[in-house]
Amino acid sequence: MPKATFAAGCFWGVESSFQKVPGVTKTLVGYTGGTTANPTYKQVCSGTTGHAEAVRVEFNPDVISYAQLLEIFWSLHNPTTLNRQGPDVGSQYRSAIFFHGAEQEKEAYASKAAADNSGRYSSAVVTEIVPAAPFYPAEDYHQCYVQKREVK
């Protein structure tokens, strides 16, 4: 299955939203885009590792396209705030698309341009578009965090 990797603030809510999308076959929260190998949550939260909280999404392209995943990504956060989403502040909460290959890179840039020109936002989109970097899964208690805490 192809993969997509997105950073859009705290990974708990982002993961929960992608889990509900038909065609998404697996999600994994973790850390990417930094310089420290195998960082811990505490290290990432210190802002010294360079990592972003991110969600790796595996998807069935016969059910959902990468372009559609990008549209969902834009809808989940404010891509105009640098290193901030809501009350969460720091580079670990930045908006970023980590592309896997040339086709995803092309689609990500086109999607960003469309989002920036859509009139949806009052400020410029600051989302980074960078090659997928080593992805380090977050600690087990972060995986499916929202799902584990839903009232049944």
**Residues 82-102 pLDDT 10s:** 999 988 999 999 999 999 999
Burial zone of 100 (CB within 10 Å; 0-12 exposed, 13-18 middle, 19+ buried): middle
Mean pLDDT within 134-147: 85
pTM of structure: 0.94
Could you tell me the CATH number of the domain that includes residue 42?
Answer: 3.30.1060.10
The pair of structure tokens assigned to 96 is 């970023």
Q: Domain range for residue 39?
A: 3-149
Burial zone of 122 (CB within 10 Å; 0-12 exposed, 13-18 middle, 19+ buried): exposed
Q: Is the pLDDT of residue 142 over 90?
A: no
Largest CA distance in the chain: 42
**pLDDT digit string (tens) for 6-41?**
999 999 899 999 999 999 999 999 999 999 999 999
**Measured between alpha carbons, how far is 151 from 119 in angstroms, rounded to an integer?**
37
Split into its structural domains, the chain has a count of: 1
**Measured between alpha carbons, how far is 39 from 35 in angstroms, rounded to an integer?**
9
Catalytic residue IDs: 10
Q: 139 falls in which pLDDT band (50, 70, 90)?
A: confident
* Residue 109 parent element (H or E): helix 102-116
Orientation angle between helical segments 102-116 and 66-75, nearest 10 degrees: 40
